[in-house]
Structure 1
Amino acid sequence: MFSSEPVLTLDHADIYQGQKLVLGDVSFQIDKGDFVYLIGRTGSGKSSLLKTLYADLWLQNGKGHIAGVALDKIKPRDVPFLRRKIGIVFQDFQLFFDRNVEENLKFVLKATGWTDKNKMNTRMADVLMQVGLGTAQKKMPHQLSGGEQQRVVIARAMLNEPLILLADEPTGNLDPAVSDQIMKVFQAINNAGTAILMATHNYDLLNKYPARVLRCQDGQVVELKG
């Protein structure tokens, strides 16, 4: 069933970090297949906004929906269900360094309720092919370059076929040539229909791969007109 519902909607949302209001009265929406950059200085609220979207921080005021889940009504027990419907890509990889690539991916599949071994193997092979690492299953993270590790992280985020990928500075630790390769991976995923919200400091990427831009500034989120 094709849904024309936005993948993400925030409506007069207040974003808090602890007791501190970081961003006030935030309203925007992201539709299926959109690519949106989230920019702003360090400390401007980008990470807090993303954490609210994957329910690491609670939405205290206003309304929010992501992948069909109401952020303003979500209960702690529902958070794993939410995270199965969205993909999250961190800057610092967060891979298990004592397990090979396949075991890193299998951990996520098992944690999100997959039990059929054949289906798990097929899905792992699919996502690794999607990010250009089709032969890396048995490699340990330390045998991979930074760019390859980030590809594994993206593959991991894609395992459950999320409606949207939330990426927090995914090229922050990578040199320009590798950042380009990672952006091409994101573009391919986006072209296949997955929406992407990507926080970045890298303004070169915005020029090279133009898309919608939201800026966190002075406690607000504003859309920049292209």
Structure 2
Amino acid sequence: MVFSKQPIIDVKGAVIFQGLDTVLQDVNFSIEPDEFVFLIGRTGSGKSSLLKTLYADLPLKMGKAEIVGFHLEKIKRNEVPFLRRKLGIVFQDFQLFPDRTVAENLFFVMRATGWTDREKMKNRMVEVLMRVGLADAATKMPHQLSGGEQQRIVIARALINQPSILLADEPTGNLDPDVADGIFKLFQEINNEGTAILMATHNHDLLRKYPYRVLKCEKGKLLDSKTEDISINTAY
């Protein structure tokens, strides 16, 4: 007997808002636990709003969405931190504290998500820094790191709680092509180890080079390459 895997994200009939404005209507898609999925679309088409809804930064006012076991249409404010412990969130603009070392940046996230044992925190910090290839960066300040190194720290931060899925919003957008390629390969390695990835991107070279499934925000709708042909040339 073959048992089907429970989708890590399952969205049905969702309407995505940015403030009072509707940006996406009748959104339906699911993502399996080990999938790698691109999210594309022009600026302002709803990519970031969709991601923010998935990590409960924006409320889901209409429709249903389940992610890592949480129902977003009825999630309570005090449950959001527990949701985010199961997610990894990677931002384009890094959002590292500039006046704290790499270690202090990582410890901040650990404390905010319930870690209390200092020795376990140190061990986990070493593990995630090794995972992203920056084992010697703990005592450095963000300004001492290159853009690519800072993004690797952001990915390390996202991996702290061994998330089931990474939500990445243009993680290579501010990096030169060679550095961006290295960051993307790191995401692939993480995906191959069993973590699902949903990555918003404008990078057409990545889309052409790596034929992963594509979700496209276009004219208020979310299109899915699993069920329809999608042009990647109008992603901007």
Both proteins in one fold, TM over 0.5: yes
Structure 2 CA distance, aligned partners of 1:66 and 1:21? 21
Structure 2 CA distance, aligned partners of 1:210 and 1:132? 26
Displacement of 1:212 = 0.6
Give 2:133's aligned residue: 132
Amino acid at match of 1:139: K
Tell me the alpha carbon deviations over residues 99-151 of structure 1, each in whole angstroms, 9 at most, x when there is no partner: 11111000000111101111111111111111111111111111100000000
Displacement of 1:195 = 0.3
Q: Provide the secondary structure at the position in 2 that maps to 1:107.
A: helix
Displacement of 1:81 = 0.9
Amino acid at match of 2:96: L
Structure 1 CA distance, aligned partners of 2:140 and 2:4? 39
Structure 2 CA distance, aligned partners of 1:188 and 1:137? 22
1:160 and 2:164 are equivalent in the alignment: no
Displacement of 1:216 = 0.3
Give 1:111's aligned residue: 112
Displacement of 1:77 = 1.2
* Identity among equivalent pairs (%): 66
Amino acid at match of 2:97: F
Q: Which runs of 5+ in 1 are unaligned?
A: none
Structure 1 CA distance, aligned partners of 2:26 and 2:11? 9
Amino acid at match of 2:64: K
Give 1:45's aligned residue: 46
Give 2:143's aligned residue: 142
Displacement of 1:209 = 2.3
Structure 1 CA distance, aligned partners of 2:168 and 2:4? 23
Give 2:234's aligned residue: none
**Cα 1:77/1:3, change in 2 over 3 Å:** farther
Q: Provide the secondary structure at the position in 2 that maps to 1:157.
A: helix
Q: Provide the secondary structure at the position in 2 that maps to 1:152.
A: helix
Amino acid at match of 1:165: L
Structure 1 CA distance, aligned partners of 2:160 and 2:133? 15
Give 2:194's aligned residue: 193
Give 2:77's aligned residue: 76
Q: Provide the secondary structure at the position in 2 that maps to 1:81.
A: helix
Displacement of 1:85 = 0.8
Q: Provide the secondary structure at the position in 1 that maps to 2:139.
A: coil
Displacement of 1:76 = 1.0
Structure 2 CA distance, aligned partners of 1:140 and 1:19? 39
Structure 1 CA distance, aligned partners of 2:144 and 2:208? 33
RMSD: 1.3
Amino acid at match of 2:115: W
Give 2:14's aligned residue: 13
Displacement of 1:3 = 8.8
Farther off after superposition, 3-12 or 183-192: 3-12
Q: Provide the secondary structure at the position in 1 that maps to 2:73.
A: coil
Q: How does 1:79-98 map to 2 (within 5 A)?
A: 79-98=80-99
Amino acid at match of 1:86: L
How many corresponding residue pairs? 225
Amino acid at match of 2:138: Q
Structure 2 CA distance, aligned partners of 1:7 and 1:90? 20
Amino acid at match of 2:206: L
User: Which segments of structure 1 move beyond 2 Å, counting only runs of 4 or more?
Assistant: none
